[in-house]
Structure 1
Amino acid sequence: MGSQPFPLRRPMTKQASETTTLPPWARRAVLSLLVGIAGLWYLRGVVSALRPLLMVLLVSLFLSFALEPAVNRLERRGMRRGPGTFLVLAIMVGALGGFGIQVGSLLAEQVTDFSENVPSYLAEIDSWLEDSFGIEHATADLRSEYDSGALAKRLSEVAEDLARFGTTVVNVLFNLFTVGLFTFYLVAEGPKLRRIICSFLPERHQRHVLEVWDLAIEKTGGYILSRSLLALASSLVHWAAFEAIGLPSSLALALWVGVMSQFVPVVGTYIAGALPLVTALLGDPADALWVMAAVAAYQQVENYLLAPRITAHTMQLHVAVAFGAVIAGSAVLGVVGALLALPAAATIQSVIAAEAERHEVVEHLIAESSLRRGHGERPPSD
């Protein structure tokens, strides 16, 4: 039986060829899509490469907002804007450098004392466990590791690192020269910069830009002012308390508590109280109870007496809004975002409050809503 040959494909007619050919606009659309995707990919790489610079500009912008009220005050007193900006920046850098050196020296001292007194601490723990629970030689492994020199070596390395902490802070401040330079020019040339920006905008947009700019300066400056006043009050009160308790390096510990509790959002209070608590535990555990009592008592006074009065004149921000802003800022920009979240949220809130239209609340509708939920009294019928 012979094989049946395959049928030959029929030649494509001109009409069928025209129907399967892509129209010219489709080719252009596909090409534009590919070029757009490639451009976005390249732009993503550029933004990623410029991320450090953008972070520097963002930090510099908020620093300029925070420093401009002080520079404006010096300018009104007769000092030129350039020297006034330099003076304010020098004071800020000196304060941060002094704080870093004080705290770094304190941490190095505490770690060194701890490493030297490890045997006595282990002996006290062994004695307490044996007397309380009948457990003998509970810290034998740690004692042997310390006697061999391994633990002491680790602790000495940590102490050496902490001893360089204060110097490292100063070096980092100098390495952040770019931030200082941008901040200096943003503050010193602030009026000129605003004039240049407004020259590209119509009059109605100029008004909005200047209002938002002024709000940002007011809220950021108010945030720094309120936090600084609260930090000063906290440092003074804790200094007196730590002196009365008898803690070593009471001034450095008080500065730590004041600065960390005010300028580190959400968890700053807990971080601030940890260092004096550990310092007290290394000396006398009974002092740790007094430290906890002092920190907790002042926190209540600050929350219900000092903070409402100070922030009422500087920056009002709901606790839930502040907490959400810190979470969002840390998710987007990390530590920098968490630190800048509160003044940014206050500025956005003020802009919305200024621009949004408000209406009078209809009270009887609120009363009816409460009644439907089982709260309140029935409104009187007409």
Structure 2
Amino acid sequence: MTSPSSPDDGAPDSPRPPRWLPRALAMGVVAVFVGIFAWNALGALNGLFVNLLIAFFIALVLEPGTVWLVRRGWRRGLAAAATLLGSLVVVIVLIVLFGNLFVQQLVALAQSVPRLYASVQLFLVERFDVVVPDTQNLLRQALEEFGDDVASGALLVGTTLVGGLLATLTILLVSYYLLAAGPRFRAAVCGWLTPARQQEVLHLWEVTQAKVSDYIGSRVVLAAVSTVVTFAFLAILGTPYSVPLAVFVGVVSQFVPTIGAYLGGALPTMVALTAQGWPQAVGVLAFVIAYQQFENLYLAPKVSARALEMNAAVSLLVVLAFGAVFGVLGAFLALPVAATIQATATTYFRRHELVESHMFRDPDVEV
């Protein structure tokens, strides 16, 4: 029994702190350090998460081909290996056929950058009286800033090559595992869920599988068509570096929403302007606009009839957000991720009929 002259610790009139305070402070410090460690660990695993995401979407794209082979009597593992290796062979063949020409023209384009920059610099001075720094000043500043980091830069390049090789192997192995496991992987995931949840997850998986594979497939087809048509036009026009410019236009126009076509068309237009003149530049610009209209009105609806369509503003925001967080790969993965999110939303959220309101339509024209 505590005497009145020595009140309990933690009482309002006690000079001592509560007995639980040191333990609470220690637990708070431990929680802070654990949080810092978890945050740093997530940052270090950022690249691994991106690789796993790439492997997951590769598996989604190749799943229809694997299922097609399984239906014709192939074993699941052999069918997965055939679809994955067949895709790699196609990519390697394309690189072998067009890689040499692509690299040569890309190197020539890089060597012509100073001349193109000088032409743009002269154009800005003559037309708008805007003075931009000379190439020599830019090179001097670059050497002053990065000249002391040559050794570290070479080490960084070597580390990047090794990291890229490891990332590629990781993506291929995980993709093969997801393709080869197939139903067993889905069964392992659903084994932790109730029967009702299993039905929801399987339905969502099926919807995501169909929508994302169709979406990525349609983007690849449209990018290939855009690349071939653009290359043919630039070759007929005589624009230099037609191969890398056509690839740039095809990839950017399909995987950067809303503004991708105009970003992709800006580079060949500038090259035609500086290397050939105003008529050729106007011709390239007119071709880019005309082809974009043809693709939007006729080609894309036929190729992507079953693909998941997204609001242009939402898809652009998703690309910018993923690019800021995960870099270039994140920007390319943003559209499949957005397609997955939209497939999830259409599965779990039901749209309702709209009420009658003037806020849903523009006002009538006043006479």
Asked if TM exceeds 0.5, the reply is yes
Q: 1:360 to 1:25 in 2, by over 3 A?
A: same
**How much does 1:142 deviate?**
7.3
- What residue number does 2:144 align with? none
The residue type equivalent to 1:238 in the other structure is T
- What residue number does 2:231 align with? 239
Is 1:73 aligned to 2:68, yes or no? yes
- What residue number does 1:107 align with? 106
SS of structure 2 residue aligned to 1:13: coil
SS of structure 1 residue aligned to 2:188: helix
Q: 1:100 to 1:32 in 2, by over 3 A?
A: farther
Over the matched positions of the two proteins, sequence identity in percent amounts to 33
- What residue number does 1:222 align with? 214
TM-score (norm 2): 0.73
Q: 1:94 aligns with which of 71, 92, 95?
A: 92
**How much does 1:375 deviate?**
4.0
Moved more, 70-79 or 207-216: 70-79
The residue type equivalent to 1:73 in the other structure is W
Mapped to 1, the partners of 2:108 and 2:61 lie a distance apart of 34
Conservation of the 8 A alpha-carbon contact between 2:211 and 2:339: yes
Is 1:352 aligned to 2:351, yes or no? no
Q: 2:358 aligns with which of 349, 359, 370?
A: 370
Q: Which runs of 5+ in 2 are unaligned?
A: 141-159
- What residue number does 2:81 align with? 83
**How much does 1:93 deviate?**
4.1
Mapped to 1, the partners of 2:240 and 2:162 lie a distance apart of 27
- What residue number does 2:280 align with? 287
Q: Deviations over 1:50-84 (max 9, x none)?
A: 22222222222222222222332333344432332
Q: 1:40 to 1:251 in 2, by over 3 A?
A: closer
Q: Deviations over 1:139-159 (max 9, x none)?
A: xx979x7xxxx9xxxxxxxxx
Q: Deviations over 1:284-310 (max 9, x none)?
A: 213222111111211121123222343
- Higher Cα Rg: structure 1 or 2? 1
Q: 1:210 aligns with which of 202, 211, 214?
A: 202
Q: 2:35 aligns with which of 40, 57, 77?
A: 40
Mapped to 2, the partners of 1:47 and 1:114 lie a distance apart of 39
SS of structure 1 residue aligned to 2:309: coil
**How much does 1:227 deviate?**
0.7
Conservation of the 8 A alpha-carbon contact between 1:261 and 1:268: yes
- What residue number does 2:188 align with? 196
Moved more, 169-178 or 86-95: 169-178
Q: 1:204 to 1:276 in 2, by over 3 A?
A: same
- What residue number does 2:52 align with? 57
Mapped to 2, the partners of 1:72 and 1:105 lie a distance apart of 40
Q: Which runs of 5+ in 1 are unaligned?
A: 1-11, 151-168, 378-382
Q: Deviations over 1:23-68 (max 9, x none)?
A: 5555554443333223222222322232222222222222222222
Conservation of the 8 A alpha-carbon contact between 1:232 and 1:258: yes
**How much does 1:106 deviate?**
1.3
Mapped to 2, the partners of 1:287 and 1:259 lie a distance apart of 22
Moved more, 280-289 or 170-179: 170-179
Mapped to 2, the partners of 1:57 and 1:255 lie a distance apart of 26
Mapped to 1, the partners of 2:303 and 2:41 lie a distance apart of 43
Conservation of the 8 A alpha-carbon contact between 2:249 and 2:265: yes
SS of structure 1 residue aligned to 2:308: coil
Mapped to 1, the partners of 2:238 and 2:360 lie a distance apart of 60
Q: 1:372 to 1:296 in 2, by over 3 A?
A: closer
Moved more, 268-277 or 38-47: 268-277
- What residue number does 1:153 align with? none
Mapped to 2, the partners of 1:89 and 1:105 lie a distance apart of 25
Q: 1:375 to 1:63 in 2, by over 3 A?
A: same
Output the aligned Cα RMSD. 4.1
Mapped to 2, the partners of 1:16 and 1:200 lie a distance apart of 50
Q: Deviations over 1:80-139 (max 9, x none)?
A: 323323324414642674566543321212344677x89xx88xx79x97xx9xx9xx9x
Q: Deviations over 1:260-319 (max 9, x none)?
A: 321244553244224433442354213222111111211121123222343332121111
Q: Deviations over 1:159-192 (max 9, x none)?
A: xxxxxxxxxx999864522222222222222322
Mapped to 2, the partners of 1:213 and 1:243 lie a distance apart of 44
Q: 1:263 to 1:358 in 2, by over 3 A?
A: closer
Map 1:141-160 to 2 at 5 A.
none
Is 1:260 aligned to 2:252, yes or no? yes
- What residue number does 1:332 align with? 325
Q: 1:298 to 1:189 in 2, by over 3 A?
A: same
